């Protein structure tokens, strides 16, 4: 069975609640495409108004982060249960900005992945290499390490529902995009890694996104690749271009 494409916007730290509702309303007629899953991953403070604003549409709402504890003295954090209760379906875990700026390591991300699954959320698990790692020729070694570490203790049935997002760090917000061949090569390598960890049927079920300066001009070519099942879109998800990406 063919995998359904999933195109998610990662808003990062942009959009106040009122701006978020306005953007969602503007994008609504542009992102109508029942052939793909469309997700807005929004800042925590925007979740409740955006969930309300997308009701009755084809859009699902995701969070940009969460903590792995159920509740307690974790000032400033948000639990999986809070996200579920607010109407969230997806959650980004392990984005390179979280790994870099906030020093989130793979042991922590593994706990987040397992807690998200337990709560009924779909993790969008990010992986990717730096420019230095690519130039050293260790791209797949590094990404395999991330995937294997982040999925410790996760079963094959659970992995089938996870979304993996490959984002070369050197292409995030830089305007640089991995070539179609580079993107497909790594996404294929990720699928092969999942097959080794579990089995081929599990690997064939997992949806793998490409992220890293995806735009209206390159989306169709990227998404046509056999192992690229959509995109995790940054800056372009905050404007009308997102509609062109969703309806590629």
Token couple for 228: 């690229």
Token pair 């504890």 is at which residue?
A: 69
Q: Among 95, 97, 104, 184, which one carries the catalytic annotation? A: 95
Q: Which of 95, 41, 38 is nearest to 63 (CA)?
A: 41
Q: Report residue 20 as tokens.
A: 């978020």
Q: Is 118 a catalytic residue?
A: no
Residue 25 a catalytic site member: no
Number of other CB atoms surrounding residue 84 within 10 Å = 17
By three-state DSSP, how is residue 126 classified? strand
- For 192, the token pair is 């092969």
> How far apart are alpha carbons 36 and 8 in whole angstroms?
10
R_g of the chain, CA atoms, integer Å: 17
As a residue count, the chain comes to: 248
Query: Which run of H or of E encompasses 47?
Result: helix 47-53
Candidates 97, 104, 167, 184; catalytic one: 167
**Crossing angle for the helix pair 139-150 and 180-197, to the nearest 10 degrees:** 40
Which of 37, 38, 104, 39 is CA-nearest to residue 65?
104
Phi, psi of 123 (to 5 degrees): -70, 135
Q: Tell me which residues are annotated as active site.
A: 95, 167
């Amino acid at each position: 069975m063919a995998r359904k494409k999933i195109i998610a916007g990662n808003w990062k730290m942009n959009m106040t609640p009122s701006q978020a509702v306005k953007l969602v309303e503007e994008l609504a007629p542009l992102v109508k495409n029942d052939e793909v899953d469309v997700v807005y991953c929004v800042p925590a403070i925007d979740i409740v108004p955006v969930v309300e604003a997308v009701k009755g549409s084809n859009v699902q709402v995701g969070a940009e982060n969460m903590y792995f504890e159920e509740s307690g003295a974790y000032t400033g954090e948000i639990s999986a249960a809070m996200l579920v209760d607010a109407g969230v379906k997806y959650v980004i875990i392990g984005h390179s900005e979280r790994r870099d700026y906030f020093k989130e390591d793979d042991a922590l991300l593994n706990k987040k992945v397992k807690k998200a699954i337990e709560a009924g959320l779909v993790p969008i698990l990010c992986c990717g290499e730096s420019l230095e790692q690519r130039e050293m020729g260790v791209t797949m070694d590094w990404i395999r390490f991330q995937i294997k570490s982040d999925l410790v203790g996760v079963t094959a049935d659970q992995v089938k529902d996870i979304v993996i997002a490959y984002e070369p760090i050197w292409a995030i917000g830089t305007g640089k995009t991995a070539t179609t061949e580079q993107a497909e090569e790594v996404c294929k390598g990720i699928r092969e890694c999942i097959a080794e960890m579990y089995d081929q049927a599990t690997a064939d079920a997992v949806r793998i996104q490409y992220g890293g300066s995806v735009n209206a001009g390159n989306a169709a070519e990227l998404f046509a690749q056999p192992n690229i099942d959509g995109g995790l879109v940054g800056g372009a998800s905050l404007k009308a271009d997102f509609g062109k990406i969703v309806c590629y």
